[in-house]
Each structure stands twice: as C-alpha cells, then as structure tokens.
Amino acid sequence: MGARLTSGECYLVQGTTCCYGIVMKNERCFPTTTYASLHLEAYDAYVGVCATMGLVLFLACIRKLYCIQRVGGSAIQKQVYSLLIVAS
C-alpha cells in the first residue's frame, strides 16, 4: 500500500485516507495542512519540552560520568556514560 500523489495532494486511499501527518480538509489532502501547522502553539510547546528534557538529561549524563570517574567506577560504566553523552 503506497502513497499516491495527485495534483499536489497525498493520499494513501484516494478520497479516504491522507498520508501520515496530513489532515484531510474538505475531502482534500494538501501537504500544507499538517497536524503541526494546525496546532502551532502545541507544537512549539512540544519542541520546547523536548529541548529542555534533552538538555537536562545531557547534563545529568555529564554529572554521572564525573561522579563515576571521581570514585573510580568500572570501565564499562565510564564507556556507557561517555557514549550517552556523545549520543545526546
């Protein structure tokens, strides 16, 4: 089941189901009518929360790695937290 593009519109099933993330308006599926574009305040809040959580968890990983190195943790612990810092 593949997506079909019809005159700038994206359907999974013609006239019934839009492609993922696109909202059907007046039985049409234009790529400009996405869930995020219809709810900008909620989307901006979501992006802000994700960025804040990412920063907090990044700092927590740095602190944990510092504590592990200070008290002489195992090599596996040091490697895991180093990889978590790189991944974040």
How many domains, the chain? 2
- Would you say residue 18 has pLDDT above 90? no
Q: Are residues 14 and 44 in the same domain?
A: no
Amino acid at 61: C
Q: Which domain holds residue 73?
A: 40-87
Contact (CB, 8 A) for 29 and 22 = yes
Residue 25: what pLDDT? 77
- Going by C-alpha positions, the residue among 22, 2, 24 that lies closest to residue 12 is 2
Mean pLDDT throughout 69-85?
A: 91
What's the whole-model pTM score? 0.60
- Per-residue DSSP letter, 15: T
Q: Are residues 46 and 76 in the same domain?
A: yes
Residue 55: what pLDDT? 95
Q: Are residues 46 and 71 in the same domain?
A: yes
- Would you say residue 5 has pLDDT above 60? no
Q: Is 13 exposed, middle or buried (0-12, 13-18, 19+ CB in 10 A)?
A: exposed
